[in-house]
Amino acid sequence: MDVRAGNQANIDFSLLAGYTISGKVSLPEGQLASSSLSVRVEAMLNKDYPPNGWTDIVIQQGQNYADYSLVVPAACGYLVRYSVKDIVPNCVLQGYYDGEIDVSQGNATNKNLTILTGSTISGSVSLPGGATAIQLSYFLTLTPTNRQSTTRQPLMP
């Protein structure tokens, strides 16, 4: 729309019909939150931003899960992702619902997410031939990948 020539009138928008994706976000079985745990749940039609809908929830101290509900435009093929905003020992901070979600004809319920148990990768980095570091500190980035992946994509984006 070109507004260089002056004001424009009768520019109307209609809101899209929305449907709800809902479920629970749970810690691994038998684990309770040691303090309140903030989690964002997002739904997107592909892994690119922006998400089509999101909500922030809190798993309360002493609890194992919290319910989530978010409204998205009617469509099929939604990916639902959790992102933990706090550190949880031995847990993966981001993960996806296993499968695509269809809300083209109505609400999708019981789309439960479990925060994944992770493993620690540890070790040391040394300079070749026993060389001494010239700088006081170095920064390294470690990106774990799935061995079965032919494209060597990171496990979590």
pLDDT of residue 12: 86
Q: What is the residue range of 72's domain?
A: 18-119
Q: How confident is the model at residue 152 (pLDDT cuts 50, 70, 90)?
A: very low
45: left (phi over 0), alpha (psi -120 to 50) or beta: alpha
Q: What total number of domains does the chain contain? A: 1
Apex CA 67: angle with CA 98 and CA 82, to 5°? 40
pLDDT digits (tens, 9 = 90+) for 22-78: 999 999 999 999 999 999 999 999 776 678 999 999 999 999 999 999 999 999 999
- Indicate whether 66 belongs to any domain: yes
- Indicate whether 59 belongs to any domain: yes
Q: How far apart are CA 57 and CA 83, in angstroms?
A: 10
- Indicate whether 149 belongs to any domain: no
pLDDT of residue 15: 78
pLDDT digits (tens, 9 = 90+) for 91-128: 888 888 988 999 999 999 999 999 988 777 778 877 78
- Indicate whether 44 belongs to any domain: yes
Among candidate residues 33, 22, 21, the one with its CA nearest the CA of residue 115: 33
- Indicate whether 131 belongs to any domain: no
Q: What is the pTM of this model?
A: 0.71
- Indicate whether 101 belongs to any domain: yes
Residue 30: what residue type? G
The least confident of 3-12, 16-25, 129-138 is 129-138
DSSP for 101-118 reads: EE-SSS-B----EEPPB-
pLDDT of residue 59: 96
- pLDDT higher than threshold 50 for residue 149: no
- Indicate whether 10 belongs to any domain: no
CATH number for 67: 2.60.40
- Indicate whether 99 belongs to any domain: yes
